[in-house]
Chains A and B, each alone.
Chain A
Amino acid sequence: MNSTKNKLILYSLILGFLGFIVATYLTILHYKNIVPPCSVIANCEKVLTSQYATIGPISVALLGSVFYLLVMVICTLLLTNYKKIYLNAFYLLSITGFMVSVALIVIQAFILHAFCQYCLTSEAISTGILILAYLNFRKEKQVR
């Protein structure tokens, strides 16, 4: 793997780490039953206490933590023990993460009419990961 691609994977790893911090913070808040204060400027609590914040007993934030953890594991595997299968898994993960993010933004904008700053940060991070994955894919194609 050349250095540019290495860098792209490294940046994805860093983004995955940041996403993990945000998602895990929300997961802890959820399972400790702590609701963020209702702020004059943001409406996070409406999003975090809505029916869309959980899928059955599982918090969406926990799924986010697992997603970012997987991104970190795959990126580390690519950096330490590059295999094509890991790269494909990375592409698949980044597309899945982005699609879920789009769905969550649609729910916030059109159903809840409220946005949560933590959720938006996570959604921006997963979009960043998809962009990096796409750039990596393009580089791969050029090499072939």
Chain B
Amino acid sequence: MSEEKLTKKEKKELRKIEWQEKAKLEERNVKLKKYSVWAGGALLIGLVILGLVWLVNSPSSVTSTEKVNVAPVTARDITNGDSKAKLTLIEYSDFQCPACATYHPMVKQLLSDFNGKVYFAYRMFPLTNLHPNSHISAQAAYAAYKQNNLFEMSDLLFTNQKDWAETSDPTGTFMDYARKLKLDLKKFQTDLTSDEVKNYVNASEQQALSEGINSTPTFILNGVKITNPGSYDDLKKLINNELNKK
């Protein structure tokens, strides 16, 4: 039926219906827009969370070309494992650094799981401007090294880091650790503050700075700086990948 044939009242009624439908449609559009904003926002938040989790979990890679100019491992270094092993892993570490304490069990596990396959060098890098006890703790470790107990002392230093990190004089605590390890206490005490030990730690610190190392722990795998792995599995995967390349 064409509109011309409608009565005035019917035309008015028709326009009213049309207007109502238009208003309904507009209302629906506004609602839809609101829902879209909320749904879009929720989706964005979900993506951000997933992205961040992925970022944190992303396994580190040694495929990067970040070759660093670090000195090769020499007899002066504190090492563990076979020097003829396929892989050489160097760690720059600070005994008072909480991140180094987190990585310590991973490295320990790695050396046990890849016995004979990884030649490990531990380089002291005390961040003295941040950690007031980093230097003396490195001296304690080196004094223990002089009695062939570096890795045992490292264990105690990292595991109990919170007990000595903030104390004004941790020497007594270090003496307790030496006692626990059944070291020659007199020798340990003398070595702890000897010029030889101090010079070794100073030289290690200066070496790391001159090589451009700016954080701890820093891991160098066969001359390539690697991103710190998020978990032991990542580290293991990385080592296996490198071993398989050979």
Contacts and interface: CB of A to CB of B under 8 A. Distances in A.
Q: Do A and B come from one complex?
A: yes
A40 B38 contact: no
Contact of B56 (A21, A34, A76, A80): A34
Interface stretch (B16-24, B77-85, B173-181, B213-221): B213-221
Interface residues of A, number: 28
B41 interface: yes
B206 to A, nearest CB: 13
Nearest to A72: B41
Given A45-B97, A80-B34, A38 B48 contact: no
B214 A40 contact: yes
A32 B129 CA distance: 28
B34 A29 contact: no
A56 interface: no
A37 interface: yes
B56 A114 contact: no
B75 interface: no
A54 interface: no
A28 to B, nearest CB: 5
Interface of B: 33-34, 37-38, 41, 44-45, 48-49, 52-53, 55-57, 94, 97-102, 127, 129-131, 209, 214-218, 228, 230
Interface of A: 17, 20-21, 24-25, 28-29, 32-41, 43, 45-46, 49, 69, 72, 76, 79-81, 114
